Amino acid sequence: MSVTLEEVEAAVATEEASPEEGREILDRAARRWLGISGDEFLAAWEEGQYSETESDPQVAKVALLLPFAG
């Protein structure tokens, strides 16, 4: 028995995060995985400080959340 895309979409509830919620999510991840605030991570990322370590799993976990931070 196959499931249609419409059935999957109907079964999955999504909620969009506000920019403030996105920053909170980034902050929690940065503190958990890197021991710094989300603002510190964002500033360092923008300065290129993580260019050599982007493949580090902990950096990647936080970097994946950047689009949510606005």
Neighbouring residues of 10: CB distance < 8 A, sequence distance ≥ 6: none
- Per residue in 14-56, pLDDT (tens digit) is 788 888 999 999 999 999 999 999 999 999 999 999 888 777 8
Q: Is the pLDDT of residue 1 over 70?
A: no
32 within a domain of the structure (yes/no): yes
Q: Is 10 inside a domain boundary? A: no
- The span from the CA of 4 to the CA of 28, in Å, is 36
Q: How many domains does the chain have?
A: 1
Angle between helices 38-46 and 19-34 (to 10 degrees): 90
In a domain, 62, yes or no: yes
| Structure tokens given for 69 | 């931070």
- Side-chain-facing half-sphere of 10: CA atoms under 13 Å: 5
> Which pLDDT score is estimated for 7?
81
Decide if 35 is inside a domain.
yes
Residue 52 lies in a domain: yes
Angle at 11 between CA 66 and CA 2, to 5 degrees: 110
- Domain membership flag for residue 11: no
Q: Which residue range forms the structural domain that includes residue 49?
A: 18-69
